[in-house]
Amino acid sequence: MRKVLYIIGSIAYASLIGCGEQKVEHDYSNADIQFLSNLSLTNLSAPLESESNQYSDSLAAAKMGHRLFFDSDLSSNGSVSCATCHQPAKYFTDGLKRSVAIGMVKRNAPSVLPSAWSHWQFWDGRKDSLWSQALGPFEDPSEHNFSRTKVANHIIKNYREPYEETFTVIPESIYSIVQEIDATPLGTTRQKSLWRKLLPEQQKAINQVFANVGKALMAYQRQLKMQPAKFDGFVDALSTNSLTSSNVLSNSEQNGMRLFLGRANCVSCHNGPLFSNFEFHNIGAPESDKQQVDLGRFSAISALVNDEFTCLSEYSDAEPENCMEMRFLKKKGPELVGAFKTPSLRNIGKTAPYMQTGQFDTLEQVISHYDMPTPPYYNRLQHPSRPHFDILPLKLSEQEKADLISFLQTLTSPIDSDDLWWQAPLE
Ligand code: HEC
Ligand code: HEC
């Protein structure tokens, strides 16, 4: 575990600098300020390089992905789009414990805002890229309840021009197939058998369109930016020696920040400008279904190995030797059991409920759990091994719990109403 850092800085008010604003003196050391800067959005790097999607930074692909993200005709009832569950006004979440569209999804909808900085997608990381992730919801019976032939048909009918300008020409030989046949290797018995009857080159041409739809959606999500939150304003002011009464954090917020970085050690997992290491841990959040426990990262490994759209697949643009995540995939060990990806804490005050199935409704409940965690539920018949437990009780006072929550609330970015990527496209 990382060395715990104790920030000792404190604040005293000084000279008036006009407009009722006061310059604020403080005793944060240079080392403190340096450490805090690592958490500011100002120092957020560009999204991860994507070897497997050569279109990840193409503006044309992003524009097409923007339309696709909000397009509810890509669903069996014509009313479900990605934005049904990832709503811009809710920081790209849906406010539900578990998402609902055609049916109810097993898990809670995370924000997509931090996704371009994470190698693994979904709570269990069962997808190794944002483009491959995007293909899941289309064929999930409780989400879009669509199939890859229907997606391809919709692209041919409504997006052929932007698609062919960005990617490549769609072979006309599949036009009538995708119009007439509802097929996928992942669907119902009938859909699977229809899929098996297609020639390998037909399957490949359909998969290629499907994969490129994912690549466009990935390019779109990489354009989503967050505005600096109150916390970033404070850190940036410390760094530029311009701390004033209008950008300083309150005493309670600063105490919460010290706990977060110090004794409560939240920063050992929630670190960097997005407040996440994007790795997998078991923090013992209560199981929502003890009859069928969620094995998290453990189950994701076989899903990844069998996935048809990973970095190692024929639809990837990467050379296999550059697929580091898949090549060095950790496949075994008790630390995988019941482990979930550390979520970003950006906008956390606005994205309740919390945890992978929305087990907690409020931040108070989350903090109480970290204060006195229940060890992970263990059932020998369901778990291959006793799960590894990653946190220790904190024994916080009521005031300290309140301070931690005040601090978490400073991570909310304002919504920029002029940012067109955050809105449904005009056409
Ligand atoms: C019915 C609601 C629903 C729809 C529709 C939906 N999602 Fe999601 N999304 C979820 C849920 C729930 C999860 C988490 C599932 C899991 O981890 O098993 C998720 C996870 C994600 C993630 C991973 C985020 C992370 O932190 O790991 C991304 C990215 C994403 N969705 C993008 C999309 C895109 C793109 C579409 C449209 C093609 C889409 N979603 C459609 C509910 C939905
Ligand atoms: C060992 C790594 C680790 C530490 C330490 C840790 N967290 Fe987490 N945190 C996680 C993981 C993993 C999850 C998701 C767990 C799940 O869904 O079961 C999570 C979830 C959360 C959530 C809910 C996020 C959401 O979108 O649902 C909040 C809030 C949170 N942590 C805050 C904190 C605070 C505050 C601390 C310090 C008291 C802390 N965490 C310490 C790994 C950690």
285 CA from centroid of ligand 2 (Å): 9
- What is the distance between the alpha carbons of residues 117 and 390, in angstroms, rounded to a whole number? 23
Q: How far is the CA of 345 from the centre of ligand 1 (A)?
A: 17
Give me the pLDDT at residue 14, please.
64
What are the tens digits of pLDDT across the range 170-181?
999 999 999 999
- Judge whether 267 and 276 are in contact, CB under 8 Å: no
Phi, psi (degrees; rounded to nearest 5) at 377:
-60, 135
Q: How far apart are CA 95 and CA 143, in angstroms?
A: 16
Q: Return all residues near 49 (Cβ < 8 A) that are at least 6 apart.
A: none
Q: Which ligand is nearest to the CA of 214?
A: 1
Residue-wise pLDDT for 335-367, tens only, equals 999 999 999 999 999 999 999 999 999 999 999
- Please indicate whether residue 135 or residue 27 has the higher confidence score (pLDDT): 135
**Those residues with Cβ within 8 angstroms of residue 124's Cβ, 6 or more apart along the chain or in another chain:** 280, 294, 296, 297, 299, 300, 339, 340, 341
Structure tokens at 352: 């309740």
Which residue from 14, 36, 12, 37 is spatially nearest to 26, judged by alpha carbons? 12
Rounded to whole angstroms, the Cα distance separating 36 from 57 reads 30
pLDDT surpasses 50 at 370: yes
> How far is residue 77's CA from residue 142's CA, in Å, rounded to a whole number?
11
* Ligand 2 touching residue 356 (CB < 6 A): yes
257 lines ligand 2 (CB under 6 A): no
Q: Is 122 left (phi over 0), alpha (psi -120 to 50) or beta?
A: left
Query: Is the pLDDT score of 12 beyond 70?
Result: no
Burial 9-40 (b: 16+ CB within 10 A, else e): eebeeeeeeeeeebebebebeeebbebbbebb
342 lines ligand 2 (CB under 6 A): yes
Cβ atoms 377, 291 nearer than 8 A = no
How remote is the CA of residue 275 from the centroid of ligand 2, in Å? 10
Determine the pLDDT at residue 155: 98
CA of 110 to the centre of ligand 1 (A): 7
Which ligand ends up closest to the CA of 279? 2
Token digits of residue 13: 């008010």
Any ligand 2 atom below 6 A from CB of 391: yes
* pLDDT tens digits along 201-245: 999 999 999 999 999 999 999 999 999 999 999 999 999 999 999
Q: What is the pLDDT of residues 261-270, one digit of tens each?
A: 999 999 999 9
Probe ligand 2: pick from 39, 118, 263, 370, max atoms within 8 Å of CB?
Answer: 370
Residues 6 or more apart from 40 whose CB is under 8 A from it?
Answer: 228, 231, 232, 235, 236, 239, 273
Q: Is 268 in the pocket of ligand 2 (CB under 6 A)?
A: yes
Pocket of ligand 1 (CB under 6 A): 80, 82, 84-86, 99, 101, 105, 107-110, 112, 115, 121-123, 130, 133-134, 137-138, 143-144, 217
pLDDT (0 to 100) of residue 4? 40
Six-digit token pair at 157? 């009918």
On the CB side of 181, CA atoms within 13 Å amount to 23
Q: Are 369 and 285 in contact (CB under 8 A)?
A: yes
Asked if the model's pLDDT at residue 166 lies above 90, the reply is yes
Give the pLDDT score at 400.
Answer: 98
**Ligand of minimum distance to the alpha carbon of 338:** 2
Q: Which ligand is nearest to the CA of 411?
A: 2
Tell me how far apart the alpha carbons of residues 397 and 307 are, in angstroms, rounded to a whole number: 47
CA 84 to ligand 1 center in whole angstroms: 10
Q: How far apart are CA 315 and CA 327, in angstroms?
A: 17
Residue nearest to atom 11 of ligand 2 (CA): 342
Nearest protein Cα to ligand 1, atom 13:
109
Q: Which residue puts its alpha carbon closest to atom 19 of ligand 1?
A: 109
Residue 343 Cα to ligand 2 midpoint, Å, equals: 7
